[in-house]
Amino acid sequence: MNHNTPLSPLPLSHLADVQRRVLSSAQLRAHGVSAARTASQCRPGGPWQLLLPGVYLLHPGPPTSEERLHGVLLYAGRPVLPAQGEARSAPGFGEAMITGLAALALYQFSSAPPLLSLDRIDVLVPRTRRLRSTGCARLVRAHGMPRPKEITGVPVAPVPRALADAVTQVADPNAVRRLLTEAVRAGHCEPAAVVKELSRARLLSRPHVVGAVDSLLAEGRALAEERLYELVRTQQLPEPVWNVDLRLPGGPHLGGVDAYWPGQAVALELDTRAPRHGEDAQWSEQARKREHLERLGITVVHLTPKKLRESPEQQATVVRTALMAAVQRDPAAYVVVLPR
């Protein structure tokens, strides 16, 4: 017996019961179909067709979007055959996952083109995978594979990674800006995660990406501020003074804060910064400002956009606790509060 020998002499009609109409050569063998029989089925005018090397479409018509996705994954993934007792139609996607514009379409980005309009589907694979891009499959290699999210049975790269891979292929500045802005506005991810992936992909030096990132950070900042206003209102926190500068009387400027409760000497800052090359000095300045305020007896609360979005009640408790603890502290230094 060799690897082309069918495991059981089943008639081809039994494949009509297979849930997916795209199978790899290994899966066909597991269904009892020999390589010779597969080749016969794929002859001109035959009922099957070769979709990608080693991947077959079990009907003669054009593939659907779902079939193209499954075909690309079967081509790129290491063959994974079902264990004994499992359904023979289990897909063998291995570590492969959809990324780029196709992934964003699966996440239902309105700014991403529909799947059927994409000539090629990006698929993320480990860098050691020895395959080439071919047909509708474009391989994207990764040193470390992220944890995929499953959408309609398809493993999909996380949004930040998918965005970075999409931006690699998109040259239109407006299209890049729309993709990045939608990712934040629709709540798919935070700006910092996107910038991190763009930096990893060495895309931040591209002129059409720089402007899009600036818009992304501005959008993220605006959304975080809206969530902070809503937090104070819905969680019935005392109303602070918003967006103010703090100064010592007749002395130096201490820095700006997003919210300040003068009676309790509690300052709040939204940490909307995203790590970008060359900004270490800015990060150090932020740390020095916080240390200076705390030496003056002012409590500084830092909230991140992600925490505001995912756990607003918990963040309200953090702020409320800081306000309540003010009565137990020594009085803070007097500071002048000015609008920004």
The burial of 163, by beta-carbon neighbours within 10 Å (0-12 exposed, 13-18 middle, 19 or more buried), is given as buried
- Long-range pairs, 318-327, Cβ under 8 A, ≥24: 319/231, 319/237, 319/266, 319/268, 320/235, 320/237, 322/264, 322/266, 323/237, 323/238, 323/261, 323/264, 323/266, 325/299, 326/261, 326/263, 326/264, 326/265, 326/266, 326/299
- Long-range pairs, 320-328, Cβ under 8 A, ≥24: 320/235, 320/237, 322/264, 322/266, 323/237, 323/238, 323/261, 323/264, 323/266, 325/299, 326/261, 326/263, 326/264, 326/265, 326/266, 326/299
Q: What is the C-alpha separation between 260 and 243, in angstroms, rounded?
A: 8
Q: H or E element: which one contains 245?
A: strand 241-247
Q: What is the mean pLDDT of the chain?
A: 87
Q: What is the pLDDT of residues 12-40, one digit of tens each?
A: 655 654 556 899 999 899 889 999 999 99
Q: What is the pLDDT of residues 213-243, one digit of tens each?
A: 988 888 889 999 999 999 999 999 999 999 9
Q: What is the pLDDT of residues 245-281, one digit of tens each?
A: 999 998 788 999 999 999 999 999 998 776 554 455 5
Domain boundaries, the chain: 237-339
Residue 138: which of 103, 113, 173 has the closest Cα?
Answer: 103
- The average pLDDT across 92-98 equals 87
Residue 164, CA distances (Å) to 20, 63, 234, 240 in order:
30, 27, 36, 38
**pLDDT at res. 325:** 93
Task: Give me the sign of the Cα torsion angle 148, 150, 151, 155.
Answer: positive
Residue 7 has pLDDT above 50, yes or no: no
Fold that domain 237-339 belongs to in CATH: Endonuclease; Chain A (3.40.960)
Segments in 152-304 forming alpha helices (H) = 159-169, 173-185, 191-200, 207-234, 280-295
Q: H or E element: which one contains 308?
A: helix 305-310
**pLDDT at res. 94:** 85
Q: What is the C-alpha separation between 98 and 117, in angstroms, rounded?
A: 16
**pLDDT at res. 299:** 94
**pLDDT at res. 328:** 86
